[in-house]
Amino acid sequence: MKLVFATHNPNKLREIQQLVPSTIQLISLDGIGCMTEIAETSNTLEGNARIKADFVTDTYQLPCFADDTGLLVDSLNGEPGVFSARYAGSKNNAEANMDKLLAKMTGQENRNAHFKTVIALNLNGETHLFEGKIDGTITTKKNGINGFGYDPIFAPNGYEQTFAELPLSVKNEISHRAQAFKKLIAYLKTINVAR
């Protein structure tokens, strides 16, 4: 089965490809010739995931799933949330986003935060939502070179290392995205698509 993952991000695609059963062939937006930057105009993660999946399904008539992820920091009332990718501006600059967040967290004793991912799947004329969440803390400085986004400043609960310091195999077991994606795969298996 061919299934479009609505992303241009090669890091995301690589991370998810390790979790996909061999019966599913994942295709990126680049793989279907979609160079459009799909505007994420919703004020919720769920809404943004639906916008991206709907665009692909409506435009290319292909089964598709899309995700949206946010980092929500308790002491900042849930910032950066839906604006996580463009927290420091529209250029989606991970370094600038982390620098802004660390600056806003200066002097904060409560460094609790969580990542949340929502996946919207459009398949057979229906939309299904899958969610994953992981709690952790914001570190005081960047640590590690793996991963992407806020990984160098997020330490998941139960680990001393940040996501950027943990091996990808460990991150893929515990991450918010992995949790949501495992629910997606479990659903696909129930309808005999992934068998």
Question: What is the rounded distance in angstroms from the CA atom of residue 155 to the CA atom of residue 86?
Answer: 21
Question: DSSP of 66-103, one letter per residue?
Answer: EEEEEEEEGGGTT-EETTGGGTT-TT--HHHHHHHHHH
Find where tokens 């004020």 sit. Answer: 43
| Tokens describing residue 91 | 């250029």
Please tell me the total number of residues recorded for the chain in this structure: 195
Closest CA to 71 of 55, 60, 82: 82
Is 67 a catalytic site residue?
no
Choosing from 68, 74, 99, 151, which is the catalytic residue? 68
DSSP 151: G
Give catalytic residue positions.
Answer: 68
